[in-house]
Structure 1
Amino acid sequence: MATLTHHEVAYASDKKIHYLAAGPVDGPLIFFIHGWPATGITWKPQLDAFAAVGFRAIAPDMPGYGSSTARHVADDYCQEALVEGMMALLADTGRKAAVWVGHDWGSGVTSSVAIQHPETVKALVSICVPYSTIELGWDGFLPLVNRETYPADQYEFGQWDYMKHYEESFEKAVEWFDSDVVGFCKAITTKPASRPERYAPVMMSTVRKNGWLNGLPKPPSVEMTGPSLLADDVYESFAKDMQKTGLWGGSAYYLHHKRNAEYNGSRERKLKQPALFIHATWDLVCDTKSSRLVEPMREACSNLTEVTPDAAHFVQFEKPREVNAALFRFLVQELPSEWPGSLDSEYTKTKSDS
């Protein structure tokens, strides 16, 4: 197991980002950016694996989570503010560019980084949420809903109904999660006992009508769910982090669709750098298998690789070895200069080579 070190970078005069780092400080740089809900420690299988082969692997607690600034200030969680934090994080490493890996809202953030600061992206890896979608506001993903499953007259917002719930009733939406943070953390990281029906509408499509989990008064208690997909020590750290902050900050990422569209919408989105998209077969909310959600990424990326582990939304929790293998193979094949030990890598050149 890699030794994880804790770091903190201050930015914007009154904010901070806490991050975990592993591997040699001069190794090729790779960032792992989590989504909702997670913290940096949930990337531990990736931090261990990449540090072991010589990468400098970094996973921040994103704003709103863990030991990073987690104020109840909605403006902290628009994409513009989040990208500012990511640029401070990159600057703290002393590097000018990195491989960026994002999951869920983390993919939205890494996509925004690629749009706003393409020179900082050596390769882009998006997990479950494709590039050129959620970071563009409602118009970036709502038109791509599978309307055979979600007829517009019955499901105006498709499986994304819960996002509208945040916009209309934010405090009420967050109150439900915060009524049992530990129970929610356990439930969200537990593998379902069975796979859902592939093309049936999901519960997230009726949240405004029925409430979370079809109207449960609070999240399931820890006794009601099976073992977490996370290792015991990682789950305990994650749950403790989430108890500290609650879900307010992390959920406030959903409040800025219009603002995010204005920030990213007019920018060039064609991406020449190598890109990898990791689908998840059983992710029925971020549905990339029966909907057109991945099409904008396919159109925007000139060098795109796609893989599909047989897993649900938290694919990096459920199938960490498969995810790591996909990442390794992608980098070896598409970006060999960023692979430790490559003869073309700046990290292996001796002084006499320079």
Structure 2
Amino acid sequence: MEYEEHFVEYGDSKSIFYHASGPRFGPLIIFMHGWPGIGKTWYPQLDVFSSLGFRVIAPDMPGYGRSTARNVISDYSQESVIEGMLAVLGDTGRDQAIWIGHDWGCGTLWTLANTHPQVYHLLTTVDRELYPKDQFPYGPWSYMAYYEQFFDEATAWFNKDIHGFLKFIFVKASADLLGKVSSLTSRVFEDKGWMGGRPSPPAPEDTSDEAGVLNFAVFEELVAAMKKTGFAQEKPQEVNSAIARWLVEEVIEQWPSFWSNGWTKQQLHQE
């Protein structure tokens, strides 16, 4: 599928690049990728939900892909990132959207919800039953704490083999892992490094080509983007199913054609 390509300016001469697809006046979903990533890593969701009648947007978050990537720390404060996301929303001509975040995109989503509640519908957070605070003080995001507090060490490790690291983490997940602790991401800070403190990422040949979750073209674009700027979505069908179920159960009124369907309006009134 081909996507529209847009740039929107914000702040101090910065710009956000984003992909768009689907009917221009369909219910709006904005997908915010995590780390590492680019907007196009959402392509399985962009294809499915645009075909269902949603207007879908996937920006390259600040510092990634074709968005502004400067060595200016303040560019990546939540205040600045939120400014960029609001610029994307404004560029669509809307004042509200369904926002979906993955990984570090969730941090921006939560900040957006706290500072601009008028622009979102629902919010989700970490399951503390799965990650008890006394055992996992950072939940599944121990790797974020390590990255933030040991930035030089973390980035040097990734840069030893960007291709190999990306190939290693963008692999298909097993359904057996659903509802279980992620040992890959929940112990990085405590281990002072990824994979138990391994000295370097796996080489590309250490990960099977068949294990990859992204198609070859998107993966190569991601590798090129990360090599340019420096430093999962997993199982596309399952991710799409989870998003669709969430939309139906929590914000059914946002489903395309909902308000033009007399039966659904009648059911809503009865409830």
**CA distance in 2: counterparts of 1:193 and 1:167, whole angstroms:** 29
Are the structure 2 counterparts of residues 215 and 334 from structure 1 closer, same or farther at C-alpha, using a change threshold of 3 Å?
Answer: closer
Listed as ranges, the gaps of 5+ residues in structure 2 are 262-271
* C-alpha contact 1:337 1:344 (8 A) present in aligned 2: no
- CA distance in 2: counterparts of 1:20 and 1:200, whole angstroms: 30
Instruction: Pick from 152, 168, 174 the counterpart of residue 187 of structure 1.
Output: 168
Q: 1:329 to 1:158 in 2, by over 3 A?
A: closer
**Aligned-pair identity (%):** 44
Q: CA offset at residue 165 of structure 1?
A: 3.0
Give the AA of the match of 2:97: A
Determine helix, strand or coil for the equivalent of 1:317. coil
What is the identity, as a one-letter code, of the residue corresponding to 1:339?
W
Does residue 229 (structure 1) correspond to residue 213 (structure 2)? The answer is: yes
The alpha-carbon distance between structure 1 residues 16 and 147, as it changes in their structure 2 partners (threshold 3 A), is: closer
Q: Does 1:242 align with 2:226?
A: yes
Corresponding residue of 1:174: 155
Partner of 1:107: 106
| Alpha-carbon offset, residue 78 of structure 1 | 2.0
2:53 paired residue number: 54
Aligned to 1:8: 7
Alpha-carbon distance, 1:84 to partner: 0.8
1:138-287 aligned at under 5 Å gives the runs 145-146=131-132, 150=135, 161-191=142-172, 204-205=186-187, 207=189, 209-226=191-208, 227-247=211-231
Aligned to 2:268: none
Instruction: Give yes or no for the alignment of 1:72 onto 2:53.
Output: no
**Unaligned segments of structure 1, at least 5 residues:** 134-140, 248-313, 346-354
Q: Deviations over 1:220-255 (max 9, x none)?
A: 1110112311122221222222121110xxxxxxxx
Question: Is the 8 Å Cα contact of residues 38 and 64 (structure 2) preserved in structure 1?
Answer: yes
Does the CA-based 8 Å contact 2:62-2:69 persist in structure 1? yes
CA shift digits 1:154-179 (9 cap, x unpaired): x8767655444334421121111012
In the TM superposition, what is the alpha-carbon distance from 1:145 to its structure 2 partner? 4.9
Measured in 1, the distance between the counterparts of 2:253 and 2:175 equals: 42
**TM-score normalized by the length of structure 1:** 0.65
> 1:28 is matched with which residue?
27
CA distance in 1, matches of 2:37, 2:182: 27
Counterpart contact for 1:180–1:219, Cα < 8 Å: yes
Task: Name the structure where helix makes up a greater proportion of residues.
Answer: 2
CA spacing shift, 1:147–1:19, aligned 2, 3 Å: closer
Contact (CA 8 Å) 2:131, 2:181: kept in 1 or not?
A: no
Deviations 1:190-215 (A, max 9, x none): 2368968x569657525465532223
Report the AA paired with residue 343 of structure 1: W
Q: Is the 8 A contact 2:171 2:234 kept in 1?
A: no
Match of 1:327 among 236, 243, 259: 243
Please report how far the alpha carbon of residue 53 of structure 1 lies from its aligned counterpart in structure 2 after TM superposition. Answer: 1.6
Partner of 2:41: 42
Say which is worse superposed, 21-30 or 157-166, in terms of deviation: 157-166
Q: Deviations over 1:317-352 (max 9, x none)?
A: 22x22222232233234333322222348xxxxxxx
> Structure 2 length as normaliser, TM-score?
0.83
1:8 counterpart SS class: strand
Say whether the 8 Å CA contact 1:6–1:18 is kept in structure 2.
yes
Tell me the CA shift for residue 63 of structure 1. 0.7
Work out the CA distance in 2 between the residues paired with 1:73 and 1:55: 35
Is the 2:184–2:194 contact (alpha carbons within 8 Å) kept by the matching residues of 1? no
Q: How far 1:117 sits from its partner (Å)?
A: 1.0
CA distance in 2, matches of 1:116, 1:209: 34
Do the aligned partners of residues 102 and 163 (structure 1) sit closer, same or farther apart at CA in structure 2, a change above 3 Å counting? closer
State the shift of 1:115 in Å: 1.4
Superposed displacement of residue 52, structure 1: 0.6
Structure 1 residues 213 and 7: CA distance shift in structure 2, 3 A: same
Deviation at 1:23, TM superposition (A): 0.9
Quick check: 2:28–2:56 contact (8 Å CA) kept in 1?
yes
User: Could you tell me which residue of structure 2 aligns to residue 88 of structure 1?
Assistant: 87
- C-alpha distance after superposition, 1:80-136 (max 9, x if no partner): 111111111101111111111111111111121111111111x2354xxx17x9xxx
